[in-house]
Each structure stands twice: as C-alpha cells, then as structure tokens.
Chain A
Amino acid sequence: MNSGKVTKNDLIQWLRTHQKNFLVTEKVAHHQPELLCDQSKEIKNIKEALFLPWDKLFNYHWENQQWNVENIQPSASPRFLMALPCEARAIYEVLDRVFLQPSETESGYAARRQGLKMVIIGCINPEPTCFCHLVGGNPYWTHPDALFILPFHDEYYLETNQSEQFDIMKKGTTLNKSEKEEIEVLRKQMKEKTNQEKLPEEVPQGLYDLFEDQEWEDLSWKCLNCGACTYLCPTCQCFDMNAEGRLKGFQLKTWDSCMFPKFTLHASGHNPRPTFKERVRQRVLHKFSYFPLREEGRYGCVGCGKCIEICPVNWNIREAVERMVKKIGNRS
C-alpha cells in the first residue's frame, strides 16, 4: 500500500490534466466543490457510469424473409470516477456482485468497469440523512484498487495499491510518524463507530421472520410508489428488457423499479404484489434481508441517504428498518 500527501495545488493540477475523462458524482460536487473542473462531467448517481439508464443489448432486423440478430460489442474508454466511500461501496460490494458473476458477466457493465479508475474521497461532513455506519460502511472506507483521497490539514492524504494507475502518487511526499499515527487513529475511530452502530447480525433473518407483521401497512401508507428512491439509489439494480422497433430495432435494457405496479404483473393478470404495502416491504426486505442472506451478510444498502433526501414524502428507510428491528425478538 502506497501512501503520501500532496498539496492542494498539485491535486487540482492533476484533476485538471485529466478533467475530460473525469466523472464526478453529485455528492462529491456538493461536498468538495473545489475538486470539480469545468470539463469534468457530473453524474447524479454513481451507477450511471456502469449500469446505464438505458442500453442496447443487441440489434435485430428482418431480411431475406427471416429474422437476424447481431451482437453489439461494448467498449468504453478509460475514465476516472470520483465518488464518496458510500457510493464506491455500492459498486464494489453490490453492483459488481450482481453484474460481474463469473460465466454470467454482463459484457456492457464489464467493459465499462474495466476502464474505470475509482477515486474515493473520504467523507468529512456527513449529512443528517447519512447512515453508512449502520450498514457496515464508514466515511473512510476504501478499496485497495482505488485511489483514496482525504482532506488532511491543508493538504490531501493519498493512498492506493495501484500507484501506476494514478500518477499523482509521484507527487506525494511521505508522511512523518505523527501524521501516520493521526491517520491510523482517525481510521480506527471510524471502524469502531461502525462496529458499535452496525445493525446486529440477526437482522436479515429477523426481518424476514417479520414478513407478515401489521406494521408494514402503517409504514408504507404515505409512499407514493414513484421510482425516485430506486432510481437515485446507488445500489438498486433492477432492470427491464423490451424489444424496441418492429422490423428493425434493438433489445432495450432500462432501469426498472420494484415500486412500479407492473413490476411483478403476470401475463395472466395475477399480481403477487398488488398494493403499495407489498412493494414497500419488498424494497426494504430486499436490501436488508434477502440480499444479505444471499451475499454473506452484505447489505444491499450503503447508507448514503439519497433516497431519504429526495423522497417527496420523506419516506425514511432508516427509520423503517430501525422500527422493524425493534420488533425482532419481541415476537412470541
């Protein structure tokens, strides 16, 4: 692991050099506006970089009295993506697990992912809606393959396992002993906070056992059943596939939302989730119960709080989960 610190000027200079290939999430633009350059592209949701709002899977056309399909070979130019730890965690811990499974790798996602270099900015001013500690994250979370940047006194602390990918590391000066210790202490504090606040281990199974509870009806009443939360969530990965074009067209993959009424509608007309109660319950349980039960305890939520921020009726998933968690163990 290589680490060092750079001056603000050096960092801004490096960002400027690469600005045309830099994607910056809205959260970073909001927290650290000084790191945004004119030509870097701001994206509202980190998953837009990899899991596109709409995508072509393959083409088809009618010719010579028969149907033909043609593959589309995805390609992506190398880019940098700057995000907060919660959003980056959404990629490494959730979306990668869904779309990069061996022998079922989605080629479009893989091509874009291959060319992506992650830059994770340590989060120093969390918002009231944030709750990353609850789900096992912390504001200094990083991945060895990414470049971790933390505002440190008047400079920036850098850390990565992949120095050859990030030439800013060459400009880094070594930290002295007390600085190193300071970083260690900060990191340790954050990890301990997570250990204290993280949801207890029995939560996924416990929530599953509360499936028939009456509380879901009260919790879900005010939800408008729009898709705002799912579309701005960095981990939500549900999608739809439709044929677009009659005699000539392509198979279209778009974002979809479990909140929409037609999500589980069968062709026969039967809908296993007919009302808002079932759909809201599904969203909470998928993130906090089903996904962890399948994926060794990893939650399908990273605690970024975006859904709470933008929900038109302030539906709060954190409050909902805490309310239900209190009931675990109280059942007879």
Chain B
Amino acid sequence: MFESILIDIAKKLLRDKTVDLIIGYGSTHYPFRTEPIVIKQEDQADALVWNPFCGNNLARYLKYYKNTQHKIALMVKGCDSRAVQVLLKEDQIKRDRLYLIGLSCPGLVNHEKLQKQFPQASPDDFQWKETGWFFHGEQIDPGLLLEETCLRCRYPNPLEYDQLIGEPQTTSPYQTYQKDYLDPIDDLSPEERWDRWSKEMTKCIRCYACRNSCPLCYCQECFAESTQPQWVSPAATPSDNFLFHLVRTMHMAGRCVECGACERACPVSIPIAQLPLKVEAIIREQFQFEAGTDQESAAPLLTYRENDPGDFIK
C-alpha cells in the first residue's frame, strides 16, 4: 500500500523535473533483502520498495553529489532524516537541492532474529502495518524481531521532510520498551567491559564496512588510512582494532544519529553501534544535545560554554 504511494510520488517528482534523481530502496533476488537504488527515469520508479528490511542509511550517498548540481530526492526514515540534518548543519549539502520523502518507520527487522523465530517464513507471511507486525494475520511482539538499535529508537518519525508517507508513529520504541541499548553493558564492571570488548575486537577484520555505511563518515581520507603520519597500523590486531573503533567513535561524538547502519553492515556481527550510542547517551546527559534534532543548537564538541560540565576535572 505504501509502495504504490511511494512510486506515484517518485514518478511525479521525475515527471515534473522537481528532482534529477531519486535515491531509494529497491528489492533484490533474495526475499528479505533490499538494496539502495538510484532512479533517473520515470519508468524505473516501479522498482522502489518500502518494507522493514530497508536497513541502509541512504544519506550516505549524498556525499557523491556534494559538488554537483543535481537535485536529489531521498527516502528518509526518522534516523536518516537526522543524518540529513547533521549534513546540512555541517555544510555538506544545501537544503534547496534536496526533496525528502519521509517514511514513518515502526522499526527494521533483524535477519538473525527472523531466522531464529520464523526459520521457514517467506515475505508473504508477514503483513507490515503501521501499528505493528502481523504474521499470518496475528500481531506479534516487535521486540522479538526488531533490530537492537530500533528497539531504542527515540525518533521514529522523520524530523525534516517534504512529504510524509504513512501516518506518523504515535509512540517511539524507546517509550514502549523503555530499554536502554546499553543496559547489558552498563551493568558490567570496567574489567568485564574490557573483556567483552576485547573479544569483539578479536573478531574485527578492519574491512571498514561500518565506517563506509555511515552517512557522517565522509572524510576524503580517513585517519585509519593515513600513512603520513600513520596513526593506526593496518594489521587487524585487537589493539589496533580497538584504536580504530575508539577514535572513530570519538570522531562521531555529538554527530551519530543512532541509525544502526554500522552494526547492520558488519560482516562479522560485532555490535559496534553500542560504542557511539554510549557516547551519545553521555552527551544527552551532560550537554542535553541530540544530533540532527534541530538546526539551531551547536554541536557540543565544537563549541565552548562556560558552564560545560567539568566534573571529570578533579
């Protein structure tokens, strides 16, 4: 139902030449997977889809058009719209070049959870309605299926859009589940946290899928690839991996929009989103700031205020 609305909107945008291209989600040959697609002609718009497997953060592709003249339409969920806001604030693209097709999102489905709960399911078994999940007509607990980052989502509705598809969500998953993503970690002692993360860092192969799927990692040359000087060794040892991830998290501090694309991209299933999300939780508490939620407040790590929290100075 949403898809036909979406396709009509897309066709009209291209027909009226409001935009030169549309970046959206398309389907693949594999039942529960979508892919990012770019559409330049009206007849290609039939390929667009919108379903709970649209996991990529499409704002990541805006960096290709930074210096071109194209007008771009972009499909944005709540978290994606926050990413666009941050990019606008950081001067990476101008608002008048964008047409944001907002999507009211009740959360994305995690493939591993899906396999576990419903190993034989096919897409036709599911109905996705705005109020929740239905499997063969019966409502199921989204907590069983949603991505971990989605269970803690505070902004299910796009904050900036030109047109919205679907009714706005009336409640956020965070309000429903009251879970903080980091509860399992916050309960651990520092030594236990170190052990836990050391194990995860042993798995990391430094493929940079997390960094490359993030819309806010748009540096021309990443510090991890610099050789003059070399900040971190290319070897995928646990200590070098730690260094890469911790420095990247610090670079994202106050800018991460908590979309979870990094975690979904990781080929070795490291819950890597927990790192920037923890930093964002701290920033929320200390600076009362959330990235991408408004165009006015200044990013905390780029500004100085006299009353900045300083209780770590002893």
Question: Does A7 lie at the interface of the complex (its beta carbon under 8 Å from any beta carbon of B)?
Answer: no
- Check: B28 CB closer than 8 A to any chain A CB: yes
Q: Which residues of chain A in 208-246 are interfacial with respect to chain B, using CB atoms and an 8 Å cutoff?
A: 221-222, 224-228, 230-232, 240, 242, 244
Consensus secondary structure, chain A interface? loop
With known contacts A53-B236, A254-B234, A312-B209, A226–B30 Cβ distance under 8 A: no
Cβ-defined contact, B235 with A54, below 8 A: yes
Q: Which residue of B lies closest to A227 (CB)?
A: B207
Interface pair A244/B60, CB less than 8 Å apart: no
Most buried by B among A44, A221, A228, A232: A228
- CB-CB under 8 A from A33, the residues of chain B are none
Q: Considering the complex, which residues of chain B in the window 188-223 have a beta carbon less than 8 Å from any beta carbon of chain A?
A: 203, 205-209, 211-213
B207 touching A231, Cβ below 8 Å: yes
Q: Complex Cα distance A225/B60, Å?
A: 12
Q: State whether B35 touches A314 (Cβ < 8 A).
A: yes
- Measured in the bound complex, the distance between the Cα atoms of B18 and A277 in whole Å is 27
Nearest B residue to A218, CB-CB:
B38
Residue of B nearest to A56 (CB): B235
Cα of A225 to Cα of B213 in the assembled complex, Å: 9
- Which of B28, B203, B212, B236 is in CB contact (< 8 Å) with A224? B212
Q: Does B301 sit at the interface, judged by CB under 8 A?
A: no
Known: A54-B235, A54-B236, A222-B36. A314 touches B213 (CB 8 A): no
B268–A222 CB distance below 8 A: no
Range, interface on chain B:
20 to 34
* CB under 8 Å from chain B, chain A span 136-193: none
B33 on interface, CB distance cutoff 8 Å: yes
Which residues from B are CB-within-8-Å of A261?
225
Q: How far, in angstroms, from A82 to B212 measured CA to CA in the complex?
A: 33
| Chain A residues whose C-beta falls within 8 Å of the C-beta of B230 in the assembled complex | 242
Once bound together, how far apart are the Cα atoms of A221 and B207, in whole Å? 19
Given A240-B234, A312-B56, CB of A228 within 8 Å of CB of B265? yes
Known pairs A53-B236, A252-B235, A314-B34; list 6 more (Cβ under 8 Å). Answer: A44-B268, A128-B29, A226-B212, A227-B208, A232-B205, A319-B29
- A residues engaging B (CB < 8 A)? 44, 53-54, 128-129, 221-222, 224-228, 230-232, 240, 242, 244, 252, 254-257, 260-262, 308, 310, 312-316, 319
